[in-house]
Amino acid sequence: MPKMKFALALIIALTFSVAVAQTSSADHEPPISGIVVGVETDDSGNLTRFAVSDSTGAVNTFTIFDGTEYGLENQAGDRWVSTQGEEPSEAARRLRDHRERFAPITVTSENGTAFSVVEREEGKLETNLGYLFAVFAITWALFFAYVLYMGRKQRVLQHEIARLKCTIG
């Protein structure tokens, strides 16, 4: 009987630990890649919050803390690696530079607090096919419509010219 109780307690403990593990892993949100659309600073020019728009157009706002890590490149490709605690105003300047250049970044976060802000290394390849389709469909439709319009106009003009030539004799 004590063995049964021990086994039951072990099962409950294991189930609880798995549940806790799953709950804590749910706090780790998947990284978000996108374009910086907003940078907020305090009176001293130190970064307080920033916003990123992902490929679906959703805007995600992140707060930062002293441990937030940065790995951002300038236009020449020189990488700046630091933390918020070490260079609080530089982070704001770098993110504003990224916003002006539309340079994409990747943010890892938990509950809206950014842990790392780095240069985006790869995009979501599957999510933007709709834009590719839109470009080809809209523009080809316009081209064909214009070519058909010209063909029709030419035929009408030729018919009118032939009719007038007959009238004049």
Partner 1 sequence: MLNKVLDLLDPLLILSAALMGVALYLIFVWVPTETNQGAVQRILYFHVPVAWGSMMGIFVVSGSSFMYLWKKNEKWDRLAVASAEVGVIFGAMMLLSGMIWARPVWAVWWTGEAKLTTALILFFIYVAYLMFRAYFPPGTQRQRLAAIIGVIGAVDTPIIYFAANLWSQAHPPLVTGPAADAESALGSDLGTVLLASTLAFSFLFIYMVQTRYKIRKSEDDLVELKRASSASAMTGAN
Which residues lie near partner 1 (CB under 8 A)? 34-35, 37, 53, 55, 57, 75, 100-102, 104, 120, 122-129, 131-132, 134-136, 138-139, 142-143, 146-148, 150-151, 153-155, 157-158, 160-161, 164-165, 167-168
Which residue, 28 or 163, is less far from partner 1 as judged by CB? Answer: 163
Which residue, 11 or 147, is less far from partner 1 as judged by CB? Answer: 147
Q: Which of the 8 DSSP states describes residue 30?
A: P
Element (H, E) at 153: helix 129-168
Which residue, 36 or 92, is less far from partner 1 as judged by CB? Answer: 36
Tokens encoding 20 = 């806790």
Give the nearest distance from C-beta 139 to partner 1 in angstroms. 5
Give the nearest distance from C-beta 24 to partner 1 in angstroms. 32
Give the nearest distance from C-beta 110 to partner 1 in angstroms. 23
What's the start-to-end Cα distance of the chain, in Å? 120
Give the nearest distance from C-beta 31 to partner 1 in angstroms. 15
Q: Within 13 Å, how many C-alpha atoms sit on residue 156's CB side?
A: 6
Element (H, E) at 23: helix 2-27
| Distance from C-alpha of 158 to C-alpha of 11, rounded to nearest angstrom | 90
Q: Compute CA distances 140 → 129, 137, 143, 148, 154, whole Å.
A: 17, 5, 5, 12, 21
Give the nearest distance from C-beta 23 to partner 1 in angstroms. 33
Which residue, 35 or 117, is less far from partner 1 as judged by CB? Answer: 35
Which residue, 40 or 100, is less far from partner 1 as judged by CB? Answer: 100
